[in-house]
């Protein structure tokens, strides 16, 4: 669920309900996420007004005057805005209750997500090492090309490396490479500047499209328990191993790159 577009969609979904709102209480039912939720997080948040909600990479930042909550959805995390209290289910780990009765509920079956507190987002170790945002003007083919010099790792692992560019997960790495016509396992250093320009363009386009389609999810954000289905119809290669390429009919190939499933077209991506 949470690729960058989903995180961005989540941000847009929760923002209108919590900005300018005061945190009344924080209920933690399960501290054991990727890192334990700090025990003093409730008292840090309580009484604070959410001034801004930001996204950095796949992290959501709930910013207050005294510090920020850092939230990551991991592989299976989800945020919901509840209008009224609803009994917590098995994986509903955290509720942030606001003065206007809105509840922000964090659900995460696999618990790879995180909820932390920091006084200073600029110096927080998790946020400090991050590479460029894909929608930042400095993210370009030239930028990728420069960073790829002498890099032997596969181009797919390269664009999934958060120190290079953030927010490109397994789905959209595969999709971007297909759109750019690049074979996922070739070494990053062997990609030409031309190809990198194509790739940077593809990444932006794919992510932008997905965010746009995430907008449909946004609509039923408040009441839906259902899964967003925005990506399924637009995916060209992800999850389609063995099926014919939409572009040329060749059966799509499945390989393993960096322990992640990777699907590509041997004919269209060369």
Partner DNA sequence: CGAACGACCTGCAGGC
Partner DNA sequence: TGCCTGCAGGTCGTTC
Q: How far is the CB of 255 from DNA (least distance, A)?
A: 11
Give yes or no: 142 in active site: no
Helices (H), 102-169: 125-128, 141-148, 155-159
Q: How far is the CB of 169 from DNA (least distance, A)?
A: 2
Q: Rounded to whole angstroms, how far apart are CA atoms 182 and 185?
A: 9
Which residue is catalytic, options 44, 58, 105, 236? 58
Q: Which is nearer to DNA, 28 or 153 (CB)?
A: 153
Which residue in the block uniquely carries the two structure tokens 């009224």? 84
Q: How far is the CB of 84 from DNA (least distance, A)?
A: 25
Q: Which is nearer to DNA, 86 or 110 (CB)?
A: 110
Q: How far is the CB of 98 from DNA (least distance, A)?
A: 26
Q: Kindly state the DSSP code that residue 14 receives in the 8-state scheme.
A: H
Give yes or no: 55 in active site: no
3-class DSSP assignment, residue 226 = coil
Q: Rounded to whole angstroms, how far apart are CA atoms 208 and 4?
A: 10
Contact residues for DNA, defined by CB under 7 A: 1-3, 32, 34, 57-58, 72, 74-76, 90-91, 109-112, 125-126, 129, 151-154, 157, 162, 169-171, 227, 231, 258-261
Q: Rounded to whole angstroms, how far apart are CA atoms 270 and 268?
A: 6
Q: Which is nearer to DNA, 101 or 261 (CB)?
A: 261
Give helix 141-148 / helix 193-219 axis angle, nearest 10°. Answer: 120
Which residue in the block uniquely carries the two structure tokens 């953030």? 166
* CB-CB contact of 131 with 160 (8 Å): no
Give yes or no: 133 in active site: no
Which residue is catalytic, options 34, 204, 208, 260? 260
Which residue is catalytic, options 2, 5, 184, 228? 2
* CB-CB contact of 230 with 184 (8 Å): no
Q: Which is nearer to DNA, 129 or 233 (CB)?
A: 129
Give yes or no: 134 in active site: no
Q: How far is the CB of 175 from DNA (least distance, A)?
A: 11
Cα 217 → chain centroid: 15
Catalytically active residues, by annotation: 2-3, 58, 260
């Amino acid at each position: 669920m949470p690729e960058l577009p989903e995180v961005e969609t989540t941000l847009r979904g929760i923002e209108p309900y919590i900005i300018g709102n005061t945190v009344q209480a924080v209920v933690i039912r399960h501290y054991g996420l990727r890192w334990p939720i700090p025990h003093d997080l409730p008292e840090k948040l309580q009484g604070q007004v959410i001034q801004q909600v930001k996204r950095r990479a796949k992290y959501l930042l709930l910013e207050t005057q005294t510090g920020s909550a850092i939230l990551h959805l991991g592989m299976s995390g989800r945020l919901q805005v509840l209008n009224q209290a609803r009994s917590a289910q098995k994986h509903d780990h955290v509720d942030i209750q606001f003065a206007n009765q809105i509840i922000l509920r964090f659900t995460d079956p696999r618990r790879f997500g995180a909820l932390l507190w920091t006084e200073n987002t600029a110096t927080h170790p998790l946020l400090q090492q991050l590479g460029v945002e894909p929608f930042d003007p400095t993210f370009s083919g030239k930028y990728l090309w420069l960073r790829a010099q002498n890099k032997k790792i596969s181009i797919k692992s390269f664009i999934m490396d958060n120190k290079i560019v953030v927010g490109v997960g397994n789905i959209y790495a595969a999709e971007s490479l297909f759109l750019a016509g690049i074979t996922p396992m070739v070494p990053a250093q062997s990609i030409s500047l031309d190809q990198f320009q194509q790739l940077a363009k593809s990444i932006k386009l794919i992510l932008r499209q997905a965010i746009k389609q995430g907008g449909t999810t946004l609509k039923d954000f408040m009441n839906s328990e259902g899964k967003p289905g925005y990506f399924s119809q637009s995916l060209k290669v992800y999850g389609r191993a063995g099926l014919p390429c939409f572009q040329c009919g060749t059966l799509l190939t499945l390989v393993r790159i960096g322990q992640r499933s990777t699907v590509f077209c041997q004919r269209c991506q060369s």
